[in-house]
């Protein structure tokens, strides 16, 4: 693939979203499945390695540039958006603690699209952090892993599960592990969960591990580094990226709502002539722009090598709640016809709800933000 300027990438992505992606969206909704051809097409077009460095075989875009493309991708079907987002984010988590050998075995093939990896943290009976209960014990050159994971995206197609667990007997962040568990690992049982409300065709799995044998060579970092692999280098940019996918999806909802308001005539005039509709459209546009600027502020700090934990939480919190407000107004503008599955706004409305769960709920983001606010206040008091 020849080198392209950012503007050329932008035009290519816009054309794809308006053309082939819209055709795929109809097929996904009709069949309830994401064909393997979509993965292949997205990979061949270079869309799954936009954020990866050039010396890894990626396109090498800055984080800001990648997010501006992701804004366009977010106008696609939710399942396609998730593929682009996860594949452009997860390489950081794998690479952060990888040895040179692991980089050759796992990271570079992942970026080339030769195998698929999925993030495997959430459990049925715990949160998504230091209270994980899945355990491992070292036996020779292997770990024996026992426990459960669920709501794991791409469980139907993943070649490896980037699974987070803890050494038997450890507590908190102490003793946490990050293991790349092969799909065919002995002792791993994968049960696909029922279809979700939105992101049609994207399968989530319930994983049960019973003395599951995982090579010790598949451990990223040392024993005790598990949560660092999970969160540092991955979670902050991923949360920021979700903020931008909310901006893109909301932008598409606004576009559909405005067009409907111009076309729909009741009582002899278009909906767009009604002041209430105009006020809603103005609020939606302002909400979207505010969220976008929060995202880009975080992106610029990330590109400058600065920490963005609080900014990422703000971008994700505001973006997801903004998306709910915008899609709700957009559906209201469409009225009854927008509620039926033949309507694109109906699909966007369903897809939008998932993003409030991705990478932590609103309550988690508020805890991160509040911690920073209180830390700064404490420092200022101590200096006074």
Angle subtended by helix axes 63-73 and 235-263, to nearest 10? 40
As a whole number of angstroms, the distance between CA 182 and CA 278 comes to: 53
Asked if domains 117-222 and 234-374 share a fold, the reply is no
pLDDT for the residue numbered 83: 96
Active site (annotated) includes residue 359: yes
331-352: b or e for each residue (b if 16 or more CB lie within 10 Å)? bebbeeebeeeebbbbbbbbbb
- Name the band, by pLDDT with cuts 50, 70 and 90, for residue 162: very high
pLDDT for the residue numbered 2: 59
pLDDT for the residue numbered 128: 65
As a whole number of angstroms, the distance between CA 34 and CA 190 comes to: 18
Residue 166 sits at φ, ψ, to 5 deg, of -135, 155
Residue 83's nearest CA partner among 30, 45, 55, 26 is 45
- Match 């770990």 to its residue by tokens: 143
As a whole number of angstroms, the distance between CA 61 and CA 6 comes to: 8
Which residue out of 223, 344, 358, 359 is catalytically annotated?
A: 359
Matching CATH number, 117-222, of 3.40.50.12780, 3.40.50.720, 3.40.30.10, 2.40.110.10: 2.40.110.10
pLDDT for the residue numbered 383: 86
As a whole number of angstroms, the distance between CA 180 and CA 382 comes to: 44
Matching CATH number, 234-374, of 3.10.180.10, 3.40.109.10, 3.40.50.300, 1.20.140.10: 1.20.140.10
| CATH T-level topology, domain 6-112 | Butyryl-Coa Dehydrogenase, subunit A; domain 1 (1.10.540)
Give residue limits of the domains in the chain. Answer: 6-112, 117-222, 234-374
Residue 219 sits at φ, ψ, to 5 deg, of -85, 130
Query: How far does CA 172 lie from the centroid of its chain?
Result: 25
Question: What is the DSSP code string of 302-326?
Answer: HHTT---HHHHHHHHHHHHHHHHHH
- Name the band, by pLDDT with cuts 50, 70 and 90, for residue 321: very high
**With 90 as the cut, is the pLDDT of residue 230 above it?**
no
- Asked whether the beta carbons of 177 and 165 are under 8 A apart, the reply is yes
pLDDT digits (tens, 9 = 90+) for 171-193: 887 899 999 999 999 999 999 99
Output the CA torsion sign for 215, 218, 222, 223: negative
Please state, for a pLDDT cut of 90, what percent of the chain lies above it: 86
Angle subtended by helix axes 275-303 and 63-73, to nearest 10? 150
């Amino acid at each position: 693939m020849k080198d392209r300027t950012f503007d050329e990438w932008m035009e290519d992505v816009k054309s794809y979203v308006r053309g082939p992606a819209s055709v795929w969206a109809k097929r996904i909704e009709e069949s309830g499945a994401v064909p393997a051809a979509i993965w292949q097409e997205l990979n061949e077009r270079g869309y799954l390695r936009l954020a990866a460095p050039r010396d890894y075989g990626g396109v090498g875009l800055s984080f800001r540039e990648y997010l501006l493309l992701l804004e366009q991708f977010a106008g696609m079907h939710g399942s396609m958006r998730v593929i682009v987002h996860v594949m452009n984010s997860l390489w950081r988590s794998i690479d952060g603690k990888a040895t040179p050998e692991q980089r050759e075995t796992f990271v570079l093939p992942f970026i080339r699209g030769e195998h698929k990896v999925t993030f495997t943290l959430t459990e049925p009976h715990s949160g998504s952090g230091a209270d994980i209960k899945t355990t491992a014990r070292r036996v020779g050159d292997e770990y024996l892993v026992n426990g459960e994971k669920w709501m794991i995206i791409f469980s139907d197609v993943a070649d490896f599960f980037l699974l987070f667990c803890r050494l038997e007997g450890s507590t908190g962040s102490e003793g946490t592990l990050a293991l790349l568990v092969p799909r065919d690992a002995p002792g791993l049982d994968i049960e696909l969960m029922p279809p979700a409300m939105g992101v049609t065709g994207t399968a989530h799995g319930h994983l049960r591990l019973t003395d599951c044998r995982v090579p010790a060579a598949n451990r990223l970092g040392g024993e005790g580094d598990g949560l660092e692999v999970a969160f540092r280098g991955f979670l902050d940019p991923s949360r920021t990226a979700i903020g931008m996918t909310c901006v893109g999806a909301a932008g598409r909802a606004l576009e559909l709502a405005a067009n409907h308001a111009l076309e729909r005539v009741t009582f002899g005039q278009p909906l767009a002539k009604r002041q209430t509709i105009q006020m809603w459209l103005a609020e939606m546009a302002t909400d979207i722009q505010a969220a976008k600027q929060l995202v880009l502020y975080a992106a610029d700090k990330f590109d400058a090598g600065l920490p963005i934990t609080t900014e990422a939480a703000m971008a994700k919190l505001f973006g997801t709640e903004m998306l709910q407000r915008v899609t709700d107004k957009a559906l209201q503008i469409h009225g009854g016809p927008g509620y039926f599955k033949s309507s694109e706004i109906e699909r966007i409305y369903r897809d939008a709800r998932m993003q409030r769960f991705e990478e932590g709920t609103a309550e988690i983001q508020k805890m991160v933000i509040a911690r920073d606010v209180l830390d700064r206040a404490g420092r200022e008091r101590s200096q006074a």
